[in-house]
Amino acid sequence: MELHNIEKLIEKYFEATTTVAEEETLRKYFTEGNVAPHLEQHAPLFNYFTKAKEERFTKQVPLKPRKNYLKWASVAAIAIFMVGLYFYQPTPPPVTLADEYTPEEIESAKEALALLAMNFNKGTEQLNHLEEFEKTTNKFLTKNN
């Protein structure tokens, strides 16, 4: 086999573009023993593949019988579902204000809250005067120090 052709095949092999026949040609070349000195670095790779092809596993593999866990798991799931259905107690619908109070009671509560809001706003108006007082007091205190 021509050395130039082998070098091209090695390049194709490492680019993963060789065919099976070309790989077989490379294996034959590297196992024959007449390998060029600059290509000897690739020889262990192809020799390994040749030896690996001949290896066989001769030990007996113990096969355990498959257990039907899936069947029992489905039976358990159905049993849990049935127990859940038996003990299921639907929650009552939420109570609204209209169900609990009469419209007159709701209106009187609205009026009471409006009165509370009005008185609260009056109280906060008085705080504005207090803030003005505090500002002027601070002006005098900082000037005197």
pLDDT for res 119: 87
- What is 35-99 written as a DSSP string? --GGGGGGHHHHHHHHHHHH----SPPP-PPPP-HHHHHHHHHHHHHHHHHHH--PPPPPPPHHH
Flag whether pLDDT at 40 surpasses 90.
no
Question: Is 8 within a domain?
Answer: yes
Answer whether residue 80 is part of any domain.
Answer: no
- In this prediction, residue 1 has a pLDDT band, given cuts at 50, 70 and 90, of low
Which residue, chain included where needed, has tokens 């007091």?
137
CB 27 within 8 A of CB 46: yes
Domain that holds residue 116: 96-144
- Model pTM? 0.37
How far apart are alpha carbons 102 and 51 in whole angstroms? 95
Q: Is residue 67 one of the residues assigned to a domain?
A: no
Residue 59: predicted pLDDT: 84
Q: Is residue 50 part of a domain?
A: yes
* pLDDT 10s digits, 84-133: 888 887 887 777 766 778 888 889 999 999 999 988 888 777 777 777 77
- Angle at which helices 43-54 and 20-32 cross, to 10°: 100
Q: Considering the chain, what is the average pLDDT of its residues?
A: 81
Specify the number of domains making up the chain. Answer: 2
Report yes or no on 61 lying in a domain: no
The angle at the Cα of 33, spanning 28 to 34, to the nearest 5 degrees, equals 95
Closest CA to 46 of 30, 66, 68: 30
CB 18 within 8 A of CB 12: yes
Q: What pLDDT band is residue 78 in, cutting at 50, 70 and 90?
A: very high
**Per-residue pLDDT at 50:** 72
Tell me the average pLDDT across 62-84. Answer: 84
